[in-house]
Chain A
Amino acid sequence: DTAVSQTPKYLVTQMGNDKSIKCEQNLGHDTMYWYKQDSKKFLKIMFSYNNKELIINETVPNRFSPKSPDKAHLNLHINSLELGDSAVYFCASSQGGQGNPRGEQFFGPGTRLTVL
């Protein structure tokens, strides 16, 4: 059983297109995250949702919009894709979020997005 799963694993698309990445966790966690890992391998948090409510929105362009239909899912929709959006996107989940500094985060396998 995969704890945190993402689809698709690879995504190749043209500039200007709109795309979505889906994430699901079966751990019963109440907090989910999106991270971006760029070509230099720096991993940065983008969004965090706690109980379907947006908690963190780091400096991310408005073209990126997270959607959480329920606690087990956090999807990432990207409008008007740009070359600089090419990266690996990781979804993660944890229990407790803010107020639980002991919370272990479980990461998905990543989605490699390539914008041509």
Chain B
Amino acid sequence: DAKTTQPNSMESNEEEPVHLPCNHSTISGTDYIHWYRQLPSQGPEYVIHGLTSNVNNRMASLAIAEDRKSSTLILHRATLRDAAVYYCIPYYNFNKFYFGSGTKLNVKP
């Protein structure tokens, strides 16, 4: 199973971009990279996923390194509502879908 390394916590100012890094050096060629977040007292919610190319959606962008050993979740303009724990999950099938400790993002007004 691919292991991940993420900073325990990060801080950002509101309205500024945030780059959340993740190292997954043991990722296999078929593992998609998923990002989820968990707001306080809520269940996790899907943010974005990708395989090799960079991806954009309405919530965020995902930049994947060429060697796929790391990725960065980009929130273009952080809001207070983005304060959450962000999980990076290399994923091929659901029996490898393991949440690590994630990065707790604090957004300052």
State the A residues within 8 Å of B (CB).
Answer: 4, 31, 33, 41-45, 48, 55-56, 90, 92, 94, 97-110
Which of A31, A42, A48, A102 is B49 in contact with, Cβ under 8 Å?
Answer: A102
Contact B30 A101 (CB under 8 A): yes
Q: How many positions in chain B have a CB within 8 Å of any CB in the partner chain?
A: 23
| Contact A107 to B95, CB < 8 A, known contacts A41-B85, A42-B101, A101-B31 | no
Q: Would you call B109 an interface residue if the criterion is a C-beta within 8 Å of the partner chain's C-beta atoms?
A: no
Interfacial residues of chain B within 22-66, with CB under 8 A of chain A in the complex? 30-32, 36, 38, 41-46, 49
State the B residues within 8 Å of A (CB).
Answer: 30-32, 36, 38, 41-46, 49, 85, 87, 91-95, 97-99, 101
Q: Which residues of B contact A101 (CB under 8 A)?
A: 30-32, 91-93
Q: Which of B49, B91, B93, B95 has most A Cβ within 10 Å?
A: B93
How far is B43's CA from A109's CA once the two chains are assembled, in angstroms? 5
How far is B99's CA from A110's CA once the two chains are assembled, in angstroms? 16
Q: Which residues of A contact B46 (CB under 8 A)?
A: 104-106
A109 to chain B minimum Cβ distance, whole angstroms, is: 6
How far is B94's CA from A98's CA once the two chains are assembled, in angstroms? 6
18 contacts between A and B (CB under 8 A): A4-B43, A41-B85, A45-B94, A48-B94, A56-B94, A90-B43, A90-B44, A92-B43, A97-B94, A101-B30, A101-B32, A102-B49, A103-B94, A105-B44, A107-B45, A108-B43, A110-B41, A110-B42
